[in-house]
Amino acid sequence: MRACIISIGNELLRGKTVNTNASEFGMKLTLCGYDVVRGLTVMDDSDEIAWALEVGMESADLVLTTGGLGPTFDDMTVESVSKALGLSLTADPVTSERLRKRYAKLGLEPTPERLKMAMIPEGSRALQNPVGAAPGVFLKVHNKMIIILPGVPEEANAILDSIMDEIRIRGVEYYSESRYLKGVMESSLVRIVNTVMKEMDSKVYIKSHPRHSETGNPAVELEILARSDTKQHAMDLVKSAFSMVLEQLNEGKNKGQE
Amino acid sequence: MRACIISIGNELLRGKTVNTNASEFGMKLTLCGYDVVRGLTVMDDSDEIAWALEVGMESADLVLTTGGLGPTFDDMTVESVSKALGLSLTADPVTSERLRKRYAKLGLEPTPERLKMAMIPEGSRALQNPVGAAPGVFLKVHNKMIIILPGVPEEANAILDSIMDEIRIRGVEYYSESRYLKGVMESSLVRIVNTVMKEMDSKVYIKSHPRHSETGNPAVELEILARSDTKQHAMDLVKSAFSMVLEQLNEGKNKGQE
């Protein structure tokens, strides 16, 4: 199953905010068994949100959006998604009641901007926000899952955590491990990595991350990933691959190739 | 002028790496006068890179890619971009020579994987990398600028910095300022922000970032941005907008609206 993450907000595009949500959610969806295949960052603009949603639904089974759920004029995610899907908006009664109570307690009016946060697309489910005001939204359309989350990381993570069990793909376990290899050049690893991935029949994915200049004082973080039906088997695959890589690296060194 | 940033790498999608490049480059391009309109994160896959390039060239005048320039099997950005644009690859003589010398100094062979890093699309210019092995690439095609940078932040930033003056849009100055407003709810700002943006004829852009729970112990970071032909004028616009927002907030408080 494939996933696409859509991040909404001008502040992300002009670099005001580092998109930690995309990596946090990417990791969580990966651990739930999904292949995260595309990430899109778009402006606070209804057409741009509609474009991203279309690309997301073409690319993936699960589309997760983050950002644009607050009370301000440029928070337009729910409205834009609903419009793009041809769905009308209805007030979620639980959220409306909660918002009214929260603002009343502070002696404040339930203005239309504030109550806007309770509006969700018809046929969707509000995902209660234990941290902030705007709820998340869970929606199934055309056999696709759509999850709409706020942009504030604490709120979005709390909501996503509450549905992890529901969206988890059963029988797909993921394992990854990294090792820091000092004195190893990324370019020396290329053939070894290719050989090991082939020998292991592509059951593992090996990625090297240069951690120092290739020709200065080289160092590489070697990361090996595997998916399997059990955690133990995924782990065994990763361990075998590490042994093979390290063995071939040592052989190379002994032969004086490096 | 519009810009699109393409980030390439499976590690970004599955959340292994936080995409600090996208925000760093987003900020630099904004300061150079560009509107960064879309961000795309794609896998280490030739078709995905081609897709992102197509979307980028449709959306923007400047397309900047980051990642996939190293020596490993999944570093395929330059090759994929060349293929997508129908350009052949040629070895950049300066880079080839530099790579040969660097590896020779270490007593290492100039393997095809290592020399791959000197290959650039015909008609492009290699952007020398003062930190690492793979150079960046600068390319003009169909009236669009394409800048290809490595994924390692220090390398990519050093290369981008070296061409900032060349890509800077003359006569477009950008200014932004943020203030932390304690005790102010984002939902209370909505109408004020709308009024001020309208009164200032949309010459400023005002964005509020909630920094604490809306109904708990509220706090908002209020950010005001402006573009103008001089830095001083952009700054004046921002200062005026801040005065107007703060004045209206105080008026509201005095009237007991909040």
Q: Is there a contact between B40 and A40 if contact means CB atoms under 8 Å apart? A: yes
Give residue A255's pLDDT: 65
One domain, residues B79 and B180: no
Amino acid B82 reads: S
Counting every residue written for chain B, the total comes to 258
The two most distant CA atoms of chain A are separated, in Å, by: 78
3-state SS of chain B? CEEEEEEECHHHHCCCCCCHHHHHHHHHHHHCCCEEEEEEEECCCHHHHHHHHHHHHHHCCEEEEECCCCCCCCCCHHHHHHHHHCCCEEECHHHHHHHHHHHHHCCCCCCHHHHHHHEEECCCEEECCCCCCCCEEEEEECCEEEEEECCCHHHHHHHHHHHHHHHCCCCCEEEEEEEEEECCCHHHHHHHHHHHHHHCCCCEEEEEEECCCCCCCCEEEEEEEEEECCHHHHHHHHHHHHHHHHHHHHHHHHCCCC
CA distances from A63 to A118, B38, B73, B220 (A): 21, 17, 29, 29
> How many other CB atoms sit within 10 Å of the CB of residue B28?
21
One domain, residues A181 and A248: yes
One domain, residues B161 and B62: yes
State how far the Cα of B186 lies from the Cα of B220, in Å rounded to an integer.
Answer: 6
Residue of A nearest to B176 (CA): A16
One domain, residues A216 and A124: no
CA dihedral B126, B128, B129, B132 (to 10 degrees): 80
The answer to whether B152 and A210 have CB atoms below 8 angstroms apart is: yes
* DSSP state letter for A43: -
Residue A131's pLDDT band, with cuts at 50, 70 and 90, is confident
How many angstroms separate the CA of residue B40 from the nearest CA in chain A? Answer: 5
Residues 25-54, chain A: which have Cβ within 8 Å of B?
25-28, 30, 36-43, 48
pLDDT greater at residue A45 or residue A191: A45
Q: Is there a contact between A15 and B26 if contact means CB atoms under 8 Å apart? A: yes
State how far the Cα of B257 lies from the Cα of B47, in Å rounded to an integer.
Answer: 56
Q: Is there a contact between B215 and A106 if contact means CB atoms under 8 Å apart? A: yes
Give residue B69's pLDDT: 94
Residue B196, token pair as written in the block:
């001020």
The domain boundary residue, chosen from B114, B139, B167: B167
pLDDT at A111 over 80: yes
Question: B39 to chain A: which residues are within 8 Å by CB?
Answer: 7, 12-13, 19, 39-42
One domain, residues A159 and A189: no
The answer to whether B91 and B118 have CB atoms below 8 angstroms apart is: yes
Residues 223-242, chain B: which have Cβ within 8 Å of A?
223
Using a CB–CB cutoff of 8 Å, tell me whether B206 touches chain A.
Answer: no
- Give alpha helix (H) positions in chain A: 10-13, 20-31, 46-59, 77-85, 93-105, 112-115, 153-167, 186-199, 231-254
A72 is in which domain, residue-wise? 2-167
Question: What is the side-by-side strand order in the sheet with B173-182?
Answer: B173-182, B219-228, B204-210
Query: Coil, strand, or helix at residue A239?
Result: helix
The domain boundary residue, chosen from A167, A192, A226: A167
* DSSP state letter for A212: S
One domain, residues A22 and A76: yes
Q: Is there a contact between B39 and A12 if contact means CB atoms under 8 Å apart? A: yes
One domain, residues A155 and A181: no
Residue A243, token pair as written in the block:
């042994």
> How many other CB atoms sit within 10 Å of the CB of residue B144?
16
Residue A256's pLDDT band, with cuts at 50, 70 and 90, is low
pLDDT at A133 over 70: yes
Give residue B258's pLDDT: 46
Share above pLDDT 90 across residues of chain A, in percent, rounded to a whole number? 69
One domain, residues B125 and B36: yes
Q: Is there a contact between B213 and A105 if contact means CB atoms under 8 Å apart? A: no
Counting the structural domains of chain A, the total is 2
Residue of B nearest to A111 (CA): B187
Give residue B78's pLDDT: 97
One domain, residues A9 and A74: yes
Using a CB–CB cutoff of 8 Å, tell me whether A163 touches chain B.
Answer: no
Give residue A167's pLDDT: 96
One domain, residues B48 and B143: yes
Using a CB–CB cutoff of 8 Å, tell me whether A85 touches chain B.
Answer: no
State how far the Cα of B99 lies from the Cα of B114, in Å rounded to an integer.
Answer: 8
Question: A258 to chain B: which residues are within 8 Å by CB?
Answer: 108
How many angstroms separate the CA of residue A142 from the nearest CA in chain B? Answer: 24
Inter-chain Cβ pairs, chain A and chain B, closer than 8 A: 190
Burial degree of B108 (CB within 10 A; 0-12, 13-18, 19+): middle
What is the per-residue pLDDT across B30-88, written as a single tens digit (0 to 9) for each? 999 999 999 999 999 999 999 999 999 999 999 999 999 988 888 999 999 999 999 99
Give residue B209's pLDDT: 87
The domain boundary residue, chosen from B150, B167, B184: B167
Question: A189 to chain B: which residues are within 8 Å by CB?
Answer: 72
- What CATH code is carried by the domain that includes residue B250? 3.30.300.100
Q: Which residue positions in chain B have pLDDT lower than 50?
A: 257-258
How many angstroms separate the CA of residue B155 from the nearest CA in chain A? Answer: 9
How many angstroms separate the CA of residue A152 from the nearest CA in chain B? Answer: 8
Average pLDDT over every residue of A222-240: 93
Residue A91, token pair as written in the block:
């007030």
CA distances from A231 to A33, A172, A173, A235, A238 (A): 12, 8, 5, 6, 11
One domain, residues B101 and B182: no
Residue B247: CB partners within 8 Å, gap ≥ 6?
A: none
Using a CB–CB cutoff of 8 Å, tell me whether A133 touches chain B.
Answer: yes
Using a CB–CB cutoff of 8 Å, tell me whether A104 touches chain B.
Answer: no
Rg of chain A, C-alpha, whole Å = 23
Identify the residue among A214, A245, A253 best suited for mutation to test binding to B, counting B beta carbons within 10 A and taking the highest.
A214
- For residue A187, give the nearest of B13, B30, B111 by CB distance: B111
pLDDT at A258 over 50: no
- For residue B106, give the nearest of A152, A191, A215 by CB distance: A215
Identify the residue among B117, B190, B217, B255 best suited for mutation to test binding to A, counting A beta carbons within 10 A and taking the highest.
B190
Q: Is there a contact between A15 and B37 if contact means CB atoms under 8 Å apart? A: no
One domain, residues A103 and A220: no
- What CATH code is carried by the domain that includes residue A149? 3.40.980.10
What is the per-residue pLDDT across A42-95, written as a single tens digit (0 to 9) for each? 999 999 999 999 999 999 999 999 999 988 888 999 999 999 999 999 999 999
Burial degree of A166 (CB within 10 A; 0-12, 13-18, 19+): exposed
State how far the Cα of B198 lies from the Cα of B201, in Å rounded to an integer.
Answer: 5
Query: Coil, strand, or helix at residue A248?
Result: helix
Question: B33 to chain A: which residues are within 8 Å by CB?
Answer: none
State how far the Cα of B170 lies from the Cα of A17, in Å rounded to an integer.
Answer: 26
